[in-house]
């Protein structure tokens, strides 16, 4: 008779890089203008909250698609799917919410014609405004709608850097893909985050990142999960090709960059011969009710890091992950 084990998936909590082209000799230098005004930016955040509530109430993917894109939309749709997979009695009643605009700062870069417009926002919540979230809203090329593509809670709000502002109060966008703008381009950051999960930061993770609460949380997810089956099986993490490659970066007052990017990773649970894994209730949306000797979970995540512009280590300040797919195999296959 096969002995069954219960699976518990890893739970953990766009690169619109701006490159200014050099104008041909004799041509006037393109004029960079703000993507929108502060008042307009806050209005877009308020609009997001209103529509998000309506979409979430009915798990309306089409409506949600008008205000979200990129990794955030993928994570939200995954939440919808998992909620729909639960018995109605187990589904939590939806509670409307909104961002506190009085406790929200917006950081708006200037762009030249043809560049994608986007802006960052930092919002605070809690009785002492102790919870800090970094958000990115980007303007869609065809529809011109502003849609939220990232919303990341910071593990250590005290490590949020001050954003540099020009005389008009506008921020400076940097190219997170270029080593000319940042010491660790986004591909390096993405590899290091993947290593935090895959090895507990033994390879590139500790070389790229300084010690921080966010990095420690990712390392803990690795250390705690890889041994969960004890002598009956194993769990391994692997970095995956990113489904969302856009990144966003703003210059800080201490000559660094606040970078927001996305990464993907997988978690593979395997038990040895004679054992099977039973999908837990939250897993059944993806895996059904069939037991399997192995399951692979796919995660989509958004990350925030402070990256020096000159050589030096970066600091991971926050990340948000959701399981966005999973699959397994039957014992007989």
Place of tokens 């033994």: 202
Residue 328: pLDDT band (50, 70, 90) is: confident
pLDDT digits (tens, 9 = 90+) for 130-147: 999 999 999 998 999 999
pLDDT digits (tens, 9 = 90+) for 150-195: 999 999 999 999 999 999 999 999 999 999 999 999 999 999 999 9
From its phi and psi, is residue 42 left (phi > 0), alpha (psi between -120 and 50) or beta? alpha
The Cα angle at residue 313 between residues 130 and 254, in degrees rounded to 5: 60
| Residue 197 to residue 221: CA distance in whole angstroms | 7
Place of tokens 């011969």: 273
pLDDT digits (tens, 9 = 90+) for 255-289: 999 999 999 999 999 999 989 999 888 888 999 88
- 134 or 90, higher pLDDT: 134
| Residue 145 to residue 325: CA distance in whole angstroms | 28
What is the pLDDT at residue 289? 87
Q: What percent of the chain has pLDDT over 70?
A: 90
**Dihedral of alpha carbons 163, 41, 37, 124, sign:** negative
Beta strand 315-329 with 275-278: parallel, antiparallel or unpaired? unpaired
* Segment 91-100 mean pLDDT: 93
What is the pLDDT at residue 28? 66
Judge whether residue 42 has pLDDT over 80. yes
**How many Cβ atoms sit within 10 Å of the Cβ of residue 85?**
17
Residue 10: pLDDT band (50, 70, 90) is: very low
């Amino acid at each position: 008779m096969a002995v069954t084990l219960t699976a518990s998936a890893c739970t953990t909590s766009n690169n619109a890089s701006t490159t200014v082209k050099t104008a041909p000799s004799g041509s006037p230098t393109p004029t960079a203008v703000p993507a929108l005004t502060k008042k307009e930016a806050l209005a877009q955040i308020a609009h997001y909250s209103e529509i998000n509530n309506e979409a979430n109430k009915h798990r309306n993917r089409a409506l949600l698609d008008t205000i979200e894109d990129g990794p955030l939309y993928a994570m939200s749709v995954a939440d919808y799917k998992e909620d729909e997979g639960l018995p109605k009695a187990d589904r939590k009643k939806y509670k409307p919410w909104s961002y506190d605009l009085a406790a929200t700062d917006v950081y708006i870069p200037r762009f030249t014609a043809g560049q994608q417009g986007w802006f960052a926002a930092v919002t605070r919540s809690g009785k002492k405004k102790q919870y800090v979230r970094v958000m990115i809203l980007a303007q869609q090329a065809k529809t011109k709608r502003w849609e939220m593509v990232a919303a990341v809670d910071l593990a250590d709000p005290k490590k949020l850097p001050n954003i540099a502002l020009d005389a008009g109060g506008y921020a400076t966008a940097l190219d997170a893909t270029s080593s000319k703008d940042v010491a660790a381009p986004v591909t390096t950051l993405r590899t290091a985050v993947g290593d935090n999960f895959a090895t507990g930061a033994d390879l590139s993770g500790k070389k790229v990142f300084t010690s921080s609460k966010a990095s420690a949380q990712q390392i803990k997810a690795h250390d705690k999960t890889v041994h969960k089956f004890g002598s009956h099986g194993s769990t391994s993490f692997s970095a995956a090709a990113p489904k969302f490659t856009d990144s966003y970066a703003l210059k800080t007052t201490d000559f660094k960059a606040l970078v927001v990017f996305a990464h993907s990773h997988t978690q593979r649970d395997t038990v040895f011969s004679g054992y099977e894994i039973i999908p837990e209730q939250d897993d059944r949306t993806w895996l059904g009710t069939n037991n399997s000797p192995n399951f692979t979970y796919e995660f989509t995540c958004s990350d925030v890091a402070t990256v020096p512009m000159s050589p030096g280590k970066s600091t991971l300040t926050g990340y948000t992950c959701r399981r966005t797919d999973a699959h397994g195999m039957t014992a007989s296959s």
